[in-house]
Structure 1
Amino acid sequence: MHDDQKRQPFPDTVVKFRGDRTSAKTKDIDAFRAYWQSMRKSGDVPWRSDIDPRGIEGLLENAFIAENIAPGVTRLRIAGSHLSDLMGMEVRGMPLSAFVDPGQRKDFALQLVELFDRPATLHLKLRSDGGIGRPVIESDLVLLPLRSDLGDISRALGCLVTKGNIGRAPRRFNIASTTLEPLDTGSPGLMAESMQGPGMAETGHRFEHRPANPSEKPYLRLVK
């Protein structure tokens, strides 16, 4: 790759989030989306390697990177501590649909197909009904498409923001509403070689994931 094609290791754009980490932080979703939007070049889908964790530090514990491995099947490659807290276990490598009630997974799979194929952004309002040791939880699930280092749209930057105590894990959610917004990328045929760079690329910097602990601060952090 020529020098003039190389990117800066970290983008300059850092969106400010609210400082209250004890709240549900639903207002931070707008800032999360704004950061992703700022990484779009000429309206195209951002590249995974463009995503700098410092740009989404306000929602690191809620954030994740997912990979589309088959039509409607998406697995978690990187996940913040909050997702592990909700499941009561390590979630890396698990399908994202594990958070969805089994009766709605088929519909969720169809929405994932739209996300990657159109491409489109996806915002779901979710609800986990209460039970013994399980308070009612309302949540927002946001999925924003990304290009892989090969240039295909097979990654997604996402966040899962909940309101309410987790209680007894695992927690699964029903889909209350769905907002799918198709994108006009305008440049589907970009050359992958000229767009690769470090950022969050797996061959460069990596993320360290430790066992979940709801009392800990977010631990999805950059490690050199």
Structure 2
Amino acid sequence: MFGKGGNGQGIVSMTDREKQKRMAPLRLLESYWQGLSGQNGEVPLRSQIDPRGIESALEFAFLGERIAPSLAKLRVAGTHLNDLMGMETGGMPLSALFTPEARDRLGDALSRVFSEGAVVRMDIAAEEGFGKSALEGHLLILPLRSDMGDMTRLIGVLVTTGRIGRTPRRFTITSCEVEPALSARAPEAAPVLTAPLPKRLSELSEPDAAFDHQPRKARHPHLRLIVSND
């Protein structure tokens, strides 16, 4: 850290600044996801995700698909995940990034993502060894729905602190927090409508004709036949 020193005023902690920078991709993704959820109070659809909305987090982000109650396959993964494994991670199970001992705990968390629409936050640490120095990280997993409406998709971010070193790097779970998503919380009572809402018309549709139950009077013909015997 640096500053004026002395009484400690004006000192800026470089550690705190680096931590804030490291956590930025997680905050960005969660804020973006919450914004999509707030549109209708439900877990967002996979098709609603626009990479431009999380551009600065794409390096650390990934999309996954449920392949079993407690297993997810990576469909798309950022370059940071590839760097951690030393290979392309698209098509691999998410559990491949974890040690065998940590996979049951990861599976329990994933099963709640898919069954309850839960949000998962993890603190993780990589195994150390020859050419593998200390490496810590944070993982955020958020549920998504497919276009059919089922909870079989997810989006997440994985960030690390430290030198990657020799790959692959696999992680243990040091802490795990699971909380319900919006769609799993108790729904609020729907408001009572006291008047019918106007029908929203699409761009190319025509307004419905009003129904008139009164019989219409016969109209006079536009043409009249006139007979003259003169």
**Alpha-carbon distance, 1:24 to partner:** 6.2
Task: For 2:62 and 2:31, locate their aligned partners in 1 and report how far apart those are by CA, in whole Å.
Answer: 16
Point out the more displaced range, 128-137 or 117-126. Answer: 128-137
- How far has the Cα of 1:26 moved from its partner? 1.4
Which residue matches 2:107? 109
1:90 matches 2:88: yes
Structure 1 unpaired stretches of 5+: 1-19, 188-224
Counterpart-to-counterpart distance in 2, 1:27 and 1:179: 19
- TM-score, normalisation: structure 2: 0.69
Equivalent residue letter for 1:120: A
Letter of the 2:63 partner, please give it. Answer: I
Asked if the contact 2:61–2:77 (Cα under 8 Å) also holds between the matched residues in 1, the reply is yes
TM-score of the two chains, using structure 1 as the length reference: 0.71
Instruction: Give yes or no for contact 1:24–1:161 (8 Å, CA) kept in 2.
Output: no
Describe the SS at the equivalent of 2:23.
Answer: coil
* Equivalent position SS for 2:149: coil
SS in 2 for 1:143: strand
CA contact (8 A) 2:25 2:60 kept: no
Please state how far the C-alpha of 1:25 moved relative to its aligned partner.
2.1
Structure with the bigger RCO (C-alpha within 8 Å, sep 6+) is 1
| CA deviation vs aligned residue, 1:48-87 (integer Å, no higher than 9, x gap) | 1110101111111110100011110100001111111100
Secondary structure, counterpart of 1:61 in structure 2:
helix
Verify the 8 A CA contact 1:24 1:163 in the aligned structure 2: no
The structure whose residues are more often helix, as a share, is 2
Q: Give the letter aligned to residue 108 of structure 1.
A: L
Confirm whether residue 39 of structure 1 aligns to residue 36 of structure 2.
Answer: yes
The aligned residue for residue 13 of structure 2 is: none
Largest Rg, 1 or 2: 2
Which residue of structure 2 lines up, in the alignment, with residue 183 of structure 1?
181
Distance (Å, rounded) in 1 between the aligned partners of 2:61 and 2:25: 12
Unpaired runs of 5+ residues, structure 2, are: 1-16, 189-230
Contact residue 66 and residue 72 of structure 2 kept, 8 A: yes
1:1-224 → structure 2 map (5 Å cutoff): 25-40=22-37, 41-185=39-183, 186=187
CA distance in 2, matches of 1:128, 1:45: 31
Structure 1 residue runs of 4 or more that deviate by more than 4 Å after TM superposition: none
Q: One-letter code of the match for 1:106?
A: D
Name the structure where strand makes up a greater proportion of residues: 1
Letter in 2 for 1:145: P
Residue aligning to 1:217? none
Aligned residues: CA RMSD: 1.9
- 8 Å contact 2:25–2:157 — kept in the other structure? no
